[in-house]
Structure 1
Amino acid sequence: MLHLSGGDDGSTAERIRYGAALAAHGGAHLTGLFTRLPLPLASHYVPPALIAGHRAEVDRAAAVARQLFEDSLRRHGIAGEWIEAEGSALDSIQLYGRSTDLVILGQPVAAKADPVVGPDHGVGQLTQDLVFALGRPVIRLPQGAAPVQRFGRLLIGWNGKKEATRAVHDALPLLRLADAVIVACVGTAGLKTTPGSELARHLARHDVAVDLVVSPERDGRAGPELLQLAAQHDADLVVMGAYGYMRWRERIFGGATEAVLRQARIPVLFSH
Structure 2
Amino acid sequence: MQFKSVCLALSFGELIPEPEEPSFAAENYAISFCAREQAHLSVFMAAPNLRLPSAGFVPLTHALVDEINAERYAHAEEAQKRITNAAAIAGVTVEFQIVQQSYTETNQCLAAAARTSDIVIVSRPTEGLSLDRDLTEAMLFASGRPVLVIPANWVRGAEFRNIMIGWDGGARAARAVGDAMPFLLRAEKVEIVCVSPDSEKSMRGADLAAHLARHCKSVTVTEIPVQHGNVAKALASHAAMGKMDLMVIGAYAHPKLLQMVLGGVTSGMLSEAELPVLLSY
- C-alpha deviation, 1:227, in angstroms: 0.8
Structure 1 residue 133: Cα displacement:
2.6
Of 67, 76, 89, the residue aligned with 2:81 is 67
Distance 2:81 2:188 in 1: 32
Q: Does the 8 A contact of 1:159 with 1:187 survive in 2?
A: no
C-alpha separation between the residues in 2 aligned to 1:75 and 1:176? 28
Counterpart in the other structure of 2:98:
84
The aligned residue for residue 149 of structure 1 is 157
Q: Distance in 2 between matches of 1:55 and 1:192?
A: 55
Match of 1:99 among 98, 107, 116: 116
Listed as ranges, the gaps of 5+ residues in structure 2 are: 1-6
What is the Cα deviation at residue 135 of structure 1? 1.6
Distance 1:12 1:65, change over 3 A: farther
The number of aligned residues is 258
State the partner residue of 1:135: 144
Larger strand share, 1 or 2: 2
Whether the aligned pair in 2 keeps the contact of 1:22 and 1:149 (CA below 8 Å) is: yes
Q: TM-score, normalised by structure 1?
A: 0.81
Q: Is the 8 A contact 1:159 1:188 kept in 2?
A: no
Q: Which moved more, 1:191-200 or 1:49-58?
A: 191-200
Q: How much is the aligned-residue C-alpha RMSD, in angstroms? A: 3.0
SS at match of 2:243: coil
Give yes or no for contact 2:13–2:131 (8 Å, CA) kept in 1. no
- Which residue does 1:49 correspond to in 2? 63
Percent of residue pairs bearing the same amino acid type? 31
1:229 aligns with 2:238: yes
58-67 or 223-232, which deviates more = 58-67
Q: Aligned partner of 1:90: which letter?
A: N
| SS, match of residue 127 in structure 1 | helix
Give the drift of 1:238: 1.0
Aligned counterparts of 1:81 and 1:132: Cα–Cα separation in 2: 24
Q: Where does residue 222 of structure 2 map in the other structure?
A: 213
- In structure 1, give the amino acid aligned to 2:87: L
1:15 partner SS: helix
C-alpha distance after superposition, 1:83-127 (max 9, x if no partner): 11122342122111111121111233467xxxxxxxx67444432
Deviation at 1:63, TM superposition (A): 2.2
